[in-house]
Amino acid sequence: MITHEDVQAAIAECEGLRRPNANTCLKLAALYTIQNHMQTKTKEPQRNTGYSFANQSPTKIMYQSETEFGDIVTGKDAEDVFAVLDELLTTVQVMVPRLYDAVIMKLKDI
């Protein structure tokens, strides 16, 4: 099992390279994603102090699109889909910041 220290050491190694290449950037993006995922797993879940969502059933996605993505996510639990998209966007933020910024701006405009 990969420990937090292993991830930190690998990040330090990649960041310490004099001439990083595309593969180094890809590795670094993956390591940051792993690090972020490890940190969110160790945090205590936030408690809603207002009212409870415990009795609600999962929200199923109904997305009509003629794309592979639309076909795959239709009928799936929204929380599960958003977890995958969040992980993807974290990687995009590191690797292609301009694309990440453009997507975030579109989401803010919704």
Of all residues in the chain, the percent with pLDDT exceeding 90 is 9
The answer to whether the predicted template modeling score (pTM) of the entire model surpasses 0.85 is: no
Q: Tell me what the mean pLDDT of segment 27-44 comes to.
A: 75
Q: Tell me what the mean pLDDT of segment 3-32 comes to.
A: 82
Can you tell me the distance from the alpha carbon of 11 to that of 2, in angstroms, rounded to the nearest whole number?
Answer: 13
Instruction: Kindly report, residue by residue over 78-110, the tens digit of the pLDDT.
Output: 888 888 898 888 888 888 889 999 999 999 999
Q: What is the pLDDT of residue 106?
A: 92
Q: Is 95 exposed, middle or buried (0-12, 13-18, 19+ CB in 10 A)?
A: middle
Q: What does the mean pLDDT of the chain come to?
A: 80
Q: Where are the domains of the chain?
A: 1-42, 59-110
Residue of 30, 35, 46 whose CA lies nearest to 6: 35
Q: Tell me what the mean pLDDT of segment 21-36 comes to.
A: 82
Q: What is the pLDDT of residue 109?
A: 92
Which is higher by pLDDT, 28 or 110? Answer: 110
Residue 24: pLDDT band (50, 70, 90) is confident
